[in-house]
Structure formats: structure tokens, C-alpha cells
Amino acid sequence: MIAAKTSPAFKRTSSKKLTRDNSAATRNRARIAAAPAPAPAPPQPPPIMPRSFFEVDSLDLAPRLLGKLLRRDGVVLRITEVEAYRPNDSACHGRFGVTSRTAPVFGPGGHAYVYLCYGLHMMLNIVADREGVGAAVLIRSCSPVSGLETIQERRGQKTEKPVLLTGPGKVGQALGISTAWSHHPLYTPGGLELLDGPEPESILIGPRVGIDYAMPEHVNAPWRFAVAGSPWISAPKSTLRPP
């Protein structure tokens, strides 16, 4: 005689255990929800511009410098106005040939050329083109990006208005540089660096400032460049026009 099959026995889970399990799951979900989100990665600083960036005609380099960043000792400035100085240019220091003062302007592209003007102002230029050419771009004005307190202290002015940095002597003072910075490569980390920055939407051009001693064709040459719409531009502004 074949025994009748019986249904398998299932162990009933107690309602108390289900309640405990559900409570634990709820607590876990609450802990996960309450856990702080991982901190976002800090933004990467803009890259330093390579040496090849500078090894072009100063008239090509000048407008490309607009929007780029100068960095030294926690101070970061955005370039807003520049002037190009070229070989065979009667307004360029290179017209005197290689002297103890002008030697840096004949150095490799991407090096700094700093000279003292009127015994007061340190003027920062960025050497352009190949070594031996004798061309550079003068940094006329900048806007502050970081290090405002240091800039104000160096300038001796507690202001955030454009007067703080509109003029080449003011830029040199804000960066705390001297003629000892001549020959310094701006494309290597440390010291004074040129970093990448956003290209301006539009620019203005006009004749350079304070070069009445030069030949007429060089006095009137539109080799001054500025960021259109920026208040961080030195006087005179009336001579600047869209290209």
C-alpha cells in the first residue's frame, strides 16, 4: 500500500522577526540617506602656457595675451590691456641694440623683461618671438582675480576700483616685481607664471600710449589691444576702436 504524499512543512516566520528585520532595514536606509555626500574634487588650476605659445610675432602674441592670467605669490591678475613692440620699431627698446638694459628683450620668447620707468615704475613685458629678435609685449592693465588684499597692500590703495590696476606701473607694483625678474621664464612652474584663461568675446585696438618720440608710422600704428567692455583699461580710452 502506497502511503499518501504529505505537503512539505514550511516554517512560519514570526511577525516579531519580520518587524525587527524591517526596522533594521529602515535604520540602514536612514543612515545612508543621512550620510554626507562626498566632497566634490577641487577645481584644477588653469595650465601654464607652453613656451611655443610665446614664440610668435609680438603683434600676434599681444591680442592672444588678453584674458590670460599672471600669477605670483597668491596674486592672480587677468590681462586686460597690452601693447606690442616689434623689431625695427622706433618705439621699441630693441632699437638701441643689445645693452645691459635691453638684453632681456632679445632673450627667448616667454621670458619676462622688466624695466624701470622714470625711476619709479616697474614695467612688465613678455618677450615674444625667437631669441635674438628683440620684440616684446607690454602689460598695460589687468583686473584682480585673487589676492586682492596683497594687491591693495602693495599698491597702497584700499580700493577695488579699476584705478588699482589700470596702468603698467600699477601692474608691476601689484605683482611685487623688480628688474631682477628679467629673463625669468613665464612658462615654468614657480615664481611668475602665465596661465591660460578665457579668450575675450571681443577686443579693441588703437595706437600705443606715450611714444611721441617715435616715427609717425609707429606712433599711429594700432598696436594697443584691450578687452572690449572691460572697465580695467588705462587712459586714454577714446583712442580705442573695434578692429
How do residues 222-242 score in pLDDT, each as one tens digit?
999 999 999 999 999 999 999
Percent of the chain with pLDDT over 90: 79
Q: Domain boundaries in the chain?
A: 53-227
How do residues 186-212 score in pLDDT, each as one tens digit?
999 999 999 999 999 999 999 999 999
- pLDDT recorded at residue 124: 98
Percent of the chain with pLDDT over 70: 83
Question: Homologous superfamily of 53-227 in CATH?
Answer: Methylpurine-DNA glycosylase (MPG) (3.10.300.10)
- Give pTM, 2 decimals: 0.83
Q: Residue 112 pLDDT > 50, yes or no?
A: yes
Q: What is the 3-state secondary structure (H, E, C) of the chain?
A: CCCCCCCCCCCCCCHHHHHHHHHHHHHHHHHHHHCCCCCCCCCCCCCECCHHHHCCCHHHHHHHHCCCEEEECCEEEEEEEEEEECCCCCCCHHHHCCCCCCHHHHCCCCEEEEEEECCCEEEEEEEECCCCCCEEEEEEEEEEEECHHHHHHHHCCCCCCHHHCECHHHHHHHHCCCHHHCCCECCCCCCCEEECCCCCCCEEEECCCCCCCCCHHHHCCCCEEEECCCCCCCCCCCCCECC
Q: Residue 14 pLDDT > 80, yes or no?
A: no
